[in-house]
Chains A and B, each alone.
Chain A
Amino acid sequence: MKALESSKDVALSKEKAQWMYQKMVEIRQFEDRVHELFAKGILPGFVHLYAGEEAVAVGVCAHLNDKDSITSTHRGHGHCIAKGCDLDGMMAEIYGKVTGLCKGKGGSMHIADFDKGMLGANGIVGGGFPLACGSALTAKYKKTDNVSVCFFGDGAQNHGTFHEGINLAAIWKLPVVFVAENNGYAEATPFSYASSCKSIVDRAIAYNIPGIKVDGKDVLAVYQAAEEAVQRARRGEGPTLIECVTYRNYGHFEGDAQTYKADQEKAEHKQDKDAILLFRNHLLNEQLLAEREVEAIEKSVEAAVNQAVKFSEESPYPNASELLTDVYVSY
């Protein structure tokens, strides 16, 4: 068990640094736009935004390829983007359009793209643990060196499936990396109230697997922890539990007044503790990217998000006949 770690001395190639910064900015801008569209009444349904937690999804997915799989949560947009899902197809899904990644039939809480190894956002808290074991079992059985990553929130670690999933992965030495996104609140309930353990990572001891807790706002710390865990899984040495301490900038869902958060806490996470600003400063200070390169990424992402909205608005809804497809129906 390691203490809270923060790392600034991770060696990144320029290409990797660019990719990571771009993905983080994509998540932020995508989510900020969804927030606006929802507030205007344009988007239907329940929407849970990932903004603020970008460093977790990106720091982990930086080590994955399209054959590696991830399971996700109700707060899944960030995982989708980090895993390479198409922004147009994601946004169209949230609009309920036929050009969405799930033909509009899944919506925000159920975006999936199996070609990218994204096994689906999930409306059931704790739904991902056994599923990650399943895709890892496939990898192990077929002797690929693929891994599964299970992203989950601090609320899910109190769910029975957490224990069943991690124990199963541990006894079968499945190539799974369990990534806790501890954003401090399960819905409107503080982590400190709902969890008997002060740290999620303490629970790794119970299953005799490695556990590491990192600053989930520091993408390099996440990157470093995930590298070791992913390699360990690829080598067939079994699962690891990583706890990333993070924060969600928006509410549990759009429309949540967030009265349970203190104003000062909200403000500091949008300024001094912002994962994207921290990484941006690092990239510039270390001269990994020049100011104009960083700005070029930000501009290109803005254009891509604009395009995703335009694409979604111009796309048609599914035809009525789609109601009865993709399921065995005779009545």
Chain B
Amino acid sequence: MTRKVSMSGAINEAMKLAMRKDENVILMGEDVAGGAQVDHLQDEDAWGGVLGVTKGLVQEFGRERILDTPITEAGYMGAAMAAASTGLRPIAELMFNDFIGSCLDEVLNQGAKFRYMFGGKAQVPVTIRTMHGAGFRAAAQHSQSLYALFTAIPGVKVVVPSTPYEAKGLLLAAIEDNDPVIFFEDKTLYNMTGDVPEGYYTIPIGKADIKREGSDVTVVAIGKQVHTALEAAEQLSQKGIEIEVVDPRSLSPLDEEAILSSVEKTNRLIVIDEANPRCSIATDIAALVADKGFDYLDAPIKRITAPHTPVPFSPPLEDIYLPKAERVVKVVSELLGTPLEV
């Protein structure tokens, strides 16, 4: 049965189902429960995650499986890598993806390398859940979208869901996966609700989803920007323009086939990515299509991204920092050579 569930609820549900199914699944991170050893809480959680995404897990699974860590990202992230390669299936929560600065080595040089470097003798079934995204007024060190950084590392998989349905199915797939998977959660989407089936299901990692079909322009959008693309699609549809919105859902592996066949149909490509433009996923997808789909193109590839600056705090600046539907409409109109009025 399907019912409306929030993004954070769907993620919470996925973790519960995974932990019920496999006793080797544990969760660790900073205040994933909170209130450790506080007498009056009697082992209930104080927080259940800084934004409440892991609420209730400690009540069901206990503190042996829901591990509050000190503020020691390198410590527990490295521990997660080796726990994974020796028989557990940990979910390690990196509260904000920005904090990868404190534990990059554990992913880059440790977990990501084990399987290949050890000649296939090690598996690292770890899932790193982490928050990303601007628009929360959280300023430069708590608002970045660093998925390109991880996509650049061979050996890890990178998932960026855009809906509660996908968050649940992809997270369960990530936990089942025997390679390290970095699972990005946009903090501004946590309250978004959507249809989510009850029970256990997985969505394959590496398979894109066509969020809206269209024949005029292909718009590949990542995470929350899928919704920017869909908003633009509505506006454009009223003018008789139909864009095709492609949600890659995972950036590594990337569903190249889905992107290329869409561009083959529409002959035009826009990529929307709220991360900084250089060495980004937008750039990567543009390169893919320039390389393998050049003959399909009738127009230059366009990237709609944040500017190449840190995320500003001031609300009006942060608002213009992020891609907007209006900008997508404008770029689509330019590509098609149609008048600009919307």
Contact = CB atoms under 8 A, between A and B. Distances in A.
B41 A260 contact: yes
B138 A156 contact: no
Contact of B71 (A186, A190, A331): A186
Which of B41, B139, B320 has most chain A Cβ within 10 Å? B139
B309 to A, nearest CB: 5
B290 to A, nearest CB: 17
B99 A105 contact: no
Interface stretch (B165-173, B248-256, B260-268, B311-319): B311-319
Contacts of A322: 312, 314, 317
A101 B200 CA distance: 51
Interface stretch (B31-39, B146-154, B331-339): B31-39
A98 B313 CA distance: 11
A159 B142 contact: no
Interface in B296-334: 307-310, 312-317, 320-321
B50 interface: yes
A259 B41 CA distance: 8
B317 A105 contact: yes
Interface residues of B, number: 44
A187 B102 contact: no
Contacts of B50: 187
B177 to A, nearest CB: 28
Given A109-B142, A110-B139, A259-B46, A44 B34 contact: no
A187 B98 contact: no
B314 A188 contact: no
A96 B140 CA distance: 13
A189 B317 contact: no
A96 B138 CA distance: 11
Contacts of A44: 137, 315
A107 B313 contact: yes
B47 interface: yes
Interface of B: 30-31, 34-38, 40-41, 46-47, 50, 68, 70-75, 98-99, 101-102, 136-142, 277-278, 307-310, 312-317, 320-321
6 contacts: A105-B312, A106-B139, A109-B139, A188-B34, A320-B316, A331-B308
Given A102-B313, A107-B137, A194-B36, 12 more contacts: A104-B314, A105-B140, A105-B312, A107-B314, A123-B98, A124-B98, A158-B71, A158-B72, A189-B31, A189-B36, A194-B70, A331-B308
